[in-house]
Amino acid sequence: LVATLSSLRLCAMSINGKSLGLEALDQPDLLWRIREAQQKDEKLRKLVDKGVVGYSTAANGTYLFRNRVSVPDNKDLKDE
């Protein structure tokens, strides 16, 4: 199991000690593309701007829900 997990090349991401989950290093631009899509998602931006419980913004501008990256309703991004 350890060898299998090592072969996935995953790293834990955290902000202020809170885990954001795992990011695949083979797709370093995935988080960037998610942030770009978040900025275009008017509904998501309004939720974050209004301070709806559970939503926040990370220091790098990524929108979070319950300290996890909030992926906009975009099939291609969600499939990755």
Show Cβ contacts of residue 78 under 8 Å, excluding neighbours closer than 6 positions: 71
Q: What is the pLDDT of residues 9-61, one digit of tens each?
A: 555 555 566 655 555 444 558 888 888 999 999 999 999 999 999 999 988 88
Q: What is the pLDDT of residues 59-78, one digit of tens each?
A: 888 899 998 889 998 888 88
9, 14, 18, 20 alpha-carbon torsion, rounded to 10° = -60
Q: Is 60 exceeded by the pLDDT of residue 1?
A: no
Residue-level pLDDT at 29: 81
pTM above 0.75, yes or no: no
Token pair, residue 1, equals 């199991």
Residue-level pLDDT at 19: 58
Q: Where are the domains of the chain?
A: 2-79
- Rounded to an integer, what distance in angstroms lies between the CA atom of residue 48 and that of residue 29? 23
- Rounded to an integer, what distance in angstroms lies between the CA atom of residue 18 and that of residue 7? 25
Give the N- to C-terminal CA distance of the chain in Å, as an integer. Answer: 23
Token pair, residue 23, equals 């990011």
